Amino acid sequence: MNQAFCRVARWVAERTGLDQVWEALFARKIPEASGIAAWLYTLGSASMFVFSVQALTGALLAMNYVPSPDHAYDSVKFISERVLLGSFIRGLHHWGASFMVVLVVLHLLRVYFMGAYKYPREGTWMVGVALLLIVIGLGFTGYLLPWDQKAYWATAVGTNIAGQTPVLGPYVAKILKGGSEMGAATMTRFYALHVLVLPALALGLIAVHLFLVVWHGISEPPSRKDDGGRP
């Protein structure tokens, strides 16, 4: 059994170099940390795991969802009440969305307070900030989709805030809403952003982010050095 598995693994490794990829990604050297500091290093992986859960549950929800004012609410209700495990899948997506924002912000705080954004990792930081904006964008666009009172008025407030910007505001608000009034065009717009544009951008930037993490290695936890009082 073990022999056979080893033969298959070697066959794949010789043809794909997957063992070296594994080595570079998972067997790479990481700084020694223990206790709470060690757990803080898991926030990035946790964000990525929740992102993949969101992608999976999102794809499933899209199978029963219609981004249109006359069907959105009923189709969401249909998922929650009539589809087998529909409320579970929707619940995962709902809570995952909030959890994602929490994790990503905690991850940002960890990187900030450990000074892990410093040379040579500024690129990783910048891509990370772009990813944070994408996560917030996903949260904002996804919030409208159930088309209930909360969703409608939250988006009304959100687009009105955008409209308050001097000079460009009214145009930004119209672009967001797909017109001067919130309605069918707003829904399709938010849906397209939520399931096509933002996830695609996120995937690309996650790839860059991860490459940079592996390329530069992970920064050590900061430590106070006794060299004349310098921090």
Partner 1 sequence: MENEGCPCAGRDGGPKMTRQGFLALAATGLAAAIGAVLSASGLTYFISPAFGKDEENWIDLGPASDIKPGTPVKVDYVERRRDAWVVNEKRSSAWIATADGKEFTAFDPRCTHLGCPYRWDQARGQFLCPCHDAVFSGEGAVVSGPPPRPLDRYSVKIAGGRLLIQPQPQKGA
Q: Does 55 bind partner 1 (CB under 8 A)?
A: no
Closest CA to 71 of 155, 152, 145: 145
If the CB atoms of residues 89 and 173 are measured against partner 1, the closer one turns out to be 89
Q: What is the DSSP letter of 195?
A: I
Q: Does 6 bind partner 1 (CB under 8 A)?
A: yes
Q: Does 74 bind partner 1 (CB under 8 A)?
A: yes
Residue 11 vs residues 23, 24, 25, 26: alpha-carbon distances, Å: 17, 19, 20, 20
Q: Does 57 bind partner 1 (CB under 8 A)?
A: yes
HSE of 8, CA atoms in CB hemisphere, 13 A: 5
Q: Does 25 bind partner 1 (CB under 8 A)?
A: no
Q: Give the C-alpha separation, 137 to 15, whole Å.
A: 40
If the CB atoms of residues 89 and 104 are measured against partner 1, the closer one turns out to be 89
Which residue of 37, 53, 201, 210 would you call a contact of partner 1, by CB under 8 A?
53
What Rg, from alpha-carbon coordinates, does the chain have? 22
Which residues in this chain contact partner 1 in the complex, by CB under 8 A? Answer: 2, 5-6, 9-10, 13, 18-19, 22, 53, 56-57, 60, 63-64, 66, 71, 74-75, 77-78, 82-86, 88-89
